[in-house]
Structure 1
């Protein structure tokens, strides 16, 4: 039986507190709201006058959150954002008016949760979620934008009822917790919706049986392809948003995925806060997210994306084919062993010229040889294996510079993979 970890002091560093959170609970994930709701009540956590937007989905959550944040800020509203996981630094998880908070503020929040929880056991994610809510509560914000960690119905974020709930997409992932079928996964994600509150679905193929269940609960979501739509214009630099009550023409084509921009615009329409087209245009232009279709120009060009399942990998492949066609692609890939490795690599394969497989130095990291075997690398796609992402990336960049053709170095497969690449200056 493991010993109870010592509680850090209120003046301890952030690393000490994060180590404490990791040791506090026997499992990394324990779905359920009872424990986190009990502690939230003791902490008197509530958004007050702030509107709440909660974003769930297999993929596209981070970019949707960023669109909402940048557009609302351009419109003059104050915003608080909670996301997970972080890419490099824990402080990335909470933003107030687009700015990260200091490590000392996170420590103060952790101390507040520790004081309130008593003997209630909390996972790392639950503890961090309550701390994030406590931090947002310290500011008089107009809008809270919250990203679901896993699923929706039983995720800690769902202890706060959203004024607008969003599902960006439904794909197969986290099967150990959400099940292997899209219907069950969609049902879990739809748990963020509440009767009498707005619900937005950006997934074009949402399961009909789950829609019927929502109808029985008096929830009528607005859906892409039915209640709103979008279209890229022939000039390939602008797009139109088409809602039931509004049409916005010649919006700037954003860097992040376009489907999520349309979903964000519909959510803002449902939020009923005035937002001008000028603010929308400015917000779309500003929207950037580290590790999401992050293109770094230079020699060689580098594209970073945290795609880690077949659904996201297929979108990434389509993006490369549409915007970077004609380039060789040297793919640096590291993945977790509990992901659909075969499906993800198969979705990437149409654009990959050469694989550079890397082992991830985390407990769930897949061996590079396992990735090479899964990719069926015989035929025309040579591959190399490496003991680290950095070694794979450096080798891929060096090889790309020796090519006669323009070559893109793609880094993907996991948040852990992308986080190993040095941040741009």
Structure 2
């Protein structure tokens, strides 16, 4: 899977890596060892989970910014290109910083050791090592235990949610997937979790016990009631996140808790401002009053999207513009969206795993449906009466859609 604009650095600095996914940590740990283990320089909050990772890091970043902290983040996938995956104080990494990191990696001889995502992960740590930072936020790419981000000696672990996804790599049951997610927990450390269904909770709590760690659970150890956060002696009122959806209350609470147990003092007025300002491209991202982008692409995120639409756009006509990857459960996605849709427009987009729009058209049972052969040809000016347009199906589709339409 190509990471946009990453190859130009590989070519420029003659560093080779494989375009495959290879779960496991031995090779990336060997590469990091050659580089002096840059991943261990800073305090880290490590976020894994099926959904909510990006939103939680958006809240973490906004909270850090409002409290005057110097911070950095590594997230995936990209929205535009590789630079927005590595950010310093919410500003994408520059070409100069990337060049400096690649020069350092070239000198240490790691060419040919890693996959693309492993190399990108190492790049992020090398960029961060060159800076004095109060905190670093790392998003797991896939799973957790064997994901290339799981290389720090110490970190505060955060898991917003666990559900079925990436079954070809992580397993086909909640228990197997939970084992992977829980693997980011370090010995004698702290874990912050959302509200899990019972099989997931059992697996995660066993990991906590095995690693002699401490767990804080949303609605058990810390709470949000009537827009007020409470945890032990901490209390912050009038919290009104602008990101749409009730699940964002939980993500917000996880972020606040993770920063508190990381040793940072939070001020109520700054917390109030931060949660209002927190934004995340491609997650119910408001483009204008009747147009939203959401990268929902699995069962849990589609369920959350449908619930959010029902809660916020009651009695509105909902037009879906959809592009999906072929390894996703597109039939499930279609059935859920059909529950609330007024019409569908299925779109082809450039990606090696993109599903042909005609297949979506064929499997859709809704009477109002059409196919657009290229994202560039989508007519966003065709606003229908009392309507809301939702662009969804994949973050890669969202990125292609933004690039093509210029929104």
Instruction: Check whether TM > 0.5.
Output: yes
| Residue deviations 1:83-125 (CA, integer Å, cap 9, x gap) | 1111112110111112112123213322322332446521110
Mapped to 1, the partners of 2:10 and 2:233 lie a distance apart of 47
Mapped to 1, the partners of 2:138 and 2:9 lie a distance apart of 23
Mapped to 1, the partners of 2:311 and 2:252 lie a distance apart of 18
- Structure 1, unaligned stretches of length 5 or more? 1-12, 234-238
Q: Which residue of 1 aligns with 2:271?
A: 280
Mapped to 1, the partners of 2:296 and 2:209 lie a distance apart of 33
The answer to whether the 8 A contact 2:296-2:302 is kept is: yes
Q: Which residue of 1 aligns with 2:209?
A: 215
Instruction: Return the TM-score normalized by structure 1.
Output: 0.87
Q: Report the Cα offset of residue 27 of structure 1.
A: 4.5
Q: Report the Cα offset of residue 416 of structure 1.
A: 1.5
Q: Report the Cα offset of residue 41 of structure 1.
A: 1.2
| Residue deviations 1:273-324 (CA, integer Å, cap 9, x gap) | 11111221121121111111101225xx210011111100111111112222
Q: Report the Cα offset of residue 398 of structure 1.
A: 4.2
Q: Which residue of 1 aligns with 2:296?
A: 307
Mapped to 1, the partners of 2:10 and 2:338 lie a distance apart of 38
Q: Report the Cα offset of residue 223 of structure 1.
A: 1.1
Instruction: Return the TM-score normalized by structure 2.
Output: 0.91
- Structure 2, unaligned stretches of length 5 or more? none
1:81 aligns with 2:70: no
| Residue deviations 1:258-280 (CA, integer Å, cap 9, x gap) | 22111111212211211111221
1:163 aligns with 2:155: yes
Q: Report the Cα offset of residue 337 of structure 1.
A: 0.5
The answer to whether the 8 A contact 2:238-2:272 is kept is: no
Q: Which residue of 2 aligns with 1:350?
A: 339
Mapped to 2, the partners of 1:360 and 1:276 lie a distance apart of 45
Q: Give me the CA root mean square deviation.
A: 2.3
Q: Report the Cα offset of residue 59 of structure 1.
A: 1.0
Q: Which residue of 1 aligns with 2:122?
A: 130
Mapped to 1, the partners of 2:388 and 2:180 lie a distance apart of 37
Instruction: Choose the corresponding residue for 1:271, options 255, 259, 262.
Output: 262
Q: Which residue of 2 aligns with 1:422?
A: 402
**1:6-405 map, 5 Å:** 16-17=8-9, 24-46=16-38, 50-118=42-110, 120-205=112-197, 206-231=200-225, 233=226, 239-255=227-243, 257-297=248-288, 301-377=290-366, 381-391=367-377, 393-394=378-379, 397-399=380-382, 401=383, 403=384, 405=385
Q: Which residue of 1 aligns with 2:392?
A: 412
| Residue deviations 1:117-156 (CA, integer Å, cap 9, x gap) | 4465211100011011100111100101111101111111
Q: Which residue of 2 aligns with 1:4?
A: none
Q: Check 1:117–1:327 CA distance in 2 against 1; reply closer, same or farther (3 A cut).
A: farther
Q: Check 1:182–1:22 CA distance in 2 against 1; reply closer, same or farther (3 A cut).
A: farther
Mapped to 2, the partners of 1:320 and 1:418 lie a distance apart of 18
The answer to whether the 8 A contact 2:218-2:250 is kept is: no
Mapped to 2, the partners of 1:21 and 1:324 lie a distance apart of 50
Q: Check 1:179–1:62 CA distance in 2 against 1; reply closer, same or farther (3 A cut).
A: same
Aligned to 1:158, what secondary structure does the other structure show?
coil
Mapped to 2, the partners of 1:14 and 1:126 lie a distance apart of 12
Mapped to 2, the partners of 1:110 and 1:351 lie a distance apart of 48
Q: Check 1:48–1:362 CA distance in 2 against 1; reply closer, same or farther (3 A cut).
A: closer
The answer to whether the 8 A contact 1:183-1:209 is kept is: yes
| Residue deviations 1:23-72 (CA, integer Å, cap 9, x gap) | 94454211111111111111113356631100101111111111111101
| Residue deviations 1:218-259 (CA, integer Å, cap 9, x gap) | 22311112112223x3xxxxx122324433222123325222
The answer to whether the 8 A contact 2:40-2:152 is kept is: no
The answer to whether the 8 A contact 1:22-1:124 is kept is: no
Aligned to 1:212, what secondary structure does the other structure show?
helix
